[in-house]
Amino acid sequence: MRASRFLFATLRETPNDAEVISHQLMLRAGMIRKLASGLYTWLPMGVRVLNKVEAIVREEMDRAGSLQVLMPVTQPASLWEESGRYVQYGPELLRFKDRHTNDFVLGPTHEEVITDMARTELKSYKQLPANFYQVQTKFRDEIRPRFGVMRSREFIMKDAYSFHVDQESLQETYDVMYDAYCKIFTRLGLNFRPVQADTGSIGGSGSHEFHVLASSGEDDIAFSTDSDYAANVEMAEAVLVGERAAPAKALEIVETPNQKTIEDVSAFLKSEPAQSVKALLVQGVAEEGKAAPVIALFLRGDHELNEIKAEKHPLIAAPLTFATEEQLAEHGLTAGFCGPQGLVEKGIAVIVDRAASILSDFVAGANEADKHAVGVNWERDAQFTEVYDLRNVVEGDPSPDGKGTLQIKRGIEVGHIFQLGQKYSEALGCKVLGKDGKPLVVTMGCYGIGVTRVVASAIEQNFDEKGIIWPAAIAPFEVAIVPMNAHKSPRTLEAAEALYAELQAAGYDVILDDRDERPGVKFSDLEITGIPHRVVIGEKGLDAGTFEYKGRRDAESVNISKEELLAKIAK
């Protein structure tokens, strides 16, 4: 590509409304432009990256045996009524009527459509397992679209769906997809982690998210220093280490006037938050015809409640809801000063986090305003109903697989594989004839990659103050050639043209910056757009037989021979 025939739509200023770095840099590098809230036009610089990402995704999906299909963006509402999601999905599902006033939706996902296709095309167990994917535009009517293409309304997904006679077959394809995803994100040049994920309300029995690690990520990922273990923090098990020491102190009630937070109380008592417990009073599951009971959760003062874990406890109501003031008053509990002493005796279930359960001589509320108990000990002073994993893991916790300790980093979810089970096949009646001649409901898996989101996440992970730094595999151009004073010096232009032809013939994606612009403008454009290799061709270098080379991450350029240049680029 000749730069004079390309659209460099770079911006010097950072647009005001772009909060995250990828959004800022995609605008500044001229990759995207906003059309309306959550809707972006991809300019030529952006499309080149998008095409490369899509090509890698398609190659690996093909290689993994998934068959490409293409389903419509517009979907009849009737299918969503069959699955029950027409109502469930909420306002992110864009609903509309066609000219005949039939109801349709703009597809945010395609489970219904693919299951409808499968129920007519798949007839026998002999056709299974089957795995279909597409790369298609999706629409999700976000209430507040933001972060550019990271959370836009229209976006491109690679979504795949597999069909099986049983769970064992699903697991096999799931594992194949897991490997394919690892290959895809590796080839894309991203630092990523596959992490165990919660299966959430969608149901199903197994799920991994693929996260690109970046400080701007919305999710916390816990992973082991010494093994492949990785999980979304909401899922990571907090393993118990150590055991409870015998009581050494007597229980004592102390005045803690106006000390409400754990930090305040600890400072006031010259203790550590980790040597105290904090109470969370929540709604329990109500027995039929009765009011919901209050459940008391106790965690170590320095730990955080993990709501998803708590909601999984059979006594605790989901979604997690705090007890009302009336409920507290009814049981004589004092908000901010609640301790475990005497609660079980009052008929309140006490669920203690594992780490809190091995404390001795700890600090707790005294169940009286402005008073705390010190030297509290479980069993001697306070009873509990059950010990349970209630908290978020923290850095330094042991890895649940017994290898190393946990680190926590922020991640951007770019892929998700999911064992759907029979949720959709049951709702839509997707059955095949089994080996025994009887119809069986198929078991399904689904596998998504946010193609447009991958582009943004690659930037979140690879940038500096000058702009984007592309992984070579998805750079809009791999090499930029800049002839100096090209409009005055036929020599530099000739040499640039020769190198351009040679590198193109060798299969590189090259841009020749033949624009009538100052070198500073060109260098700045090439830096912000993140081209991995820059070669400047000047009179001096031609005399010396060298090229001025600068890798995008290099601080300074170097003058090197053609052989060295080719070696740099080939890396």
- In the complex, what is the shortest distance from the CB of residue 68 to its own copies, in angstroms, rounded to a whole number? 5
The residue among 44 and 471 lying less far from its own copies, judged by its C-beta, is 44
Token digits of residue 312: 């999984």
Q: What is the CA radius of gyration of the chain?
A: 30
The two beta strands, 533-537 and 547-551, are antiparallel
In the bound state with its own copies, the residue whose beta carbon lies nearer, of 113 and 323, is 113
Separation CA 552–CA 554 (nearest Å): 6
When the beta carbons of 128 and 481 are compared against its own copies, the nearer one is 128
Q: Which CB atom, from 9 or from 536, has the smaller least distance to its own copies? A: 9
Determine if the peptide bond prior to 319 is cis (ω within 30°): yes
Residues that bind its own copies (CB under 8 A): 5-7, 9, 30, 33, 35-36, 39-44, 46-48, 50-51, 65, 67-76, 91-92, 94, 96-99, 102, 104, 106, 113, 116-117, 120-121, 126-127, 130, 132, 137, 139, 141, 143, 153-154, 516
With H, G, I as helix, E, B as strand and everything else as coil, classify residue 7: coil
Residue 61, classified by CB atoms within 10 Å of its CB into exposed (0-12), middle (13-18) or buried (19+), is buried
Nearer to its own copies, 80 or 192 (CB): 80
Least distance in Å: CB of 113 to its own copies? 6
Q: How far is the CB of 44 from its own copies (least distance, A)?
A: 4
Q: For helices 44-63 and 451-461, what crossing angle results, to 10°?
A: 110
Question: Toward its own copies, which CB reaches closer, 105 or 535?
Answer: 105
Report the residue number, 116 or 548, with the smaller CB distance to its own copies.
116
Q: Between residues 48 and 300, which has the closer beta carbon with respect to its own copies?
A: 48
Using CB atoms within 10 A of its CB, is residue 141 exposed (0-12), middle (13-18) or buried (19+)?
middle
Asked if residue 61 lies in contact with residue 158, where contact means CB atoms within 8 angstroms, the answer is yes
Whole-number minimum distance, CB 440 to its own copies, in Å?
19
E strand or H helix that includes residue 252: strand 252-255
CB of 141 to its own copies, least distance (A): 5
Whether omega for the bond prior to residue 129 falls within 30 degrees of 0, making it cis, is yes
Closest contact distance (angstroms) between CB of 162 and its own copies is 13
Q: How is residue 489 written in tokens?
A: 């010096």
In whole angstroms, give the CA distance from residue 461 to residue 471. Answer: 10
Which residue number, 74 or 561, has a Cβ lying nearer to its own copies? Answer: 74
**How is residue 357 written in tokens?**
């359960």
Q: What's the min distance (Å) between Cβ of 64 and its own copies? A: 11
* Maximum alpha-carbon separation in the chain: 94
Q: From the CB of 445, what's the least distance to its own copies, in Å? A: 17
Instruction: Name the minimum Å distance from CB 321 to its own copies.
Output: 27
Q: How far is the CB of 71 from its own copies (least distance, A)?
A: 5
Q: What angle do CA 540, 544, 546 make, to 5 degrees?
A: 90
- Sheet with 103-106, strands from edge to edge, namely 74-76, 103-106, 94-97
Q: For tokens 């080839």, what's the residue?
A: 187
DSSP 373-386: EEEE-BTTTB--SE
Q: Which is nearer to its own copies, 92 or 226 (CB)?
A: 92
